[in-house]
Amino acid sequence: MSVKSSVVRVERRQDGVCFQGWIRKRPPIWLLWHSSVLPEGVPVEKPYYQRHIFFCTNQRESGKAACNNSGVADAMAKLAKQRAKDLGIHGPDGVRVNRAGCLGRCASGPIALVYPEGVWYTYVDAEDVLEIVDSHLKDGVVVERLKI
C-alpha cells in the first residue's frame, strides 16, 4: 500500500477475515464498514452514515450536456430521500441522500454516486432510482445493470 495522502483505503486479511476501511496515518484510526471481528488494539470510529448517495443536479444554460438540464435529477433525489425515509434507513447510522454539483461524468448522465463503495450509477426513471435505494442503500447489493 503506497501512502500518498493522510487518508488511504486499506484491506487487510487476518485469520481469514477481510477488513476493509479507511485509515488515517496520524493517529491510526480505522473506519470499518465490513467486519465482524476486529484486530486487537485497533481504535475504531463508526461512520456517521453507513452509505451516502450523491445525485448530480448540475444544469447548464449553454445547452451542453448536464445531468439536470431536464430537471429530472432534482425529482429523483427527492424520490430517493423519501424512499429511504419510508424504509427507515435515512439518517445517522443509515443513509444520507444529497444533491451535488457537477460530478464530471456528464456524458453518462444523469448520474448518482454511492459511497463508501464509490459506485457510479446512471438511471432513466423512478424505477431505477428505487432499485438503487432498495438494493444498494438498504441491502448493500450493487445494481450491476445501472453501474457505469
Span 26-70, pLDDT tens digits: 444 444 444 445 566 666 677 889 999 999 999 888 878 888 888
Q: How many contiguous H segments (helices) and E segments (strands) does the chain have?
A: 3, 7
Q: Which fold has domain 51-146?
A: Glutaredoxin (3.40.30)
Q: What is the pLDDT of residue 29?
A: 46
Residue 3 reports pLDDT greater than 50:
no
Residue spans in the chain of domains classed CATH 3.40.30.10 = 51-146
Residue 98's contacts (CB-CB under 8 Å, 6 or more residues apart) are 52, 53, 54, 55, 77
Task: Return d(Cα 96, Cα 17) in angstroms, integer.
Answer: 28
Can you give the pLDDT at residue 39? 60
Please determine, for residue 143, whether its predicted confidence score (pLDDT) is greater than 80: yes
Digit-coded pLDDT (tens) for 80-115: 999 999 999 999 999 999 999 999 898 888 999 999
Model confidence at 7: pLDDT above 70 = no
What pLDDT score does 70 carry? 83
Of residues 78 and 65, more confidently modeled: 78
pLDDT score recorded for residue 68? 86
Say if CB 24 and CB 6 are below 8 A apart. yes
Element of type H or E holding 111? strand 111-115
Average pLDDT over residues 7-28: 46
- Mean of the pLDDT values across residues 114-135? 96
Banded pLDDT at 5 (limits 50, 70, 90): very low
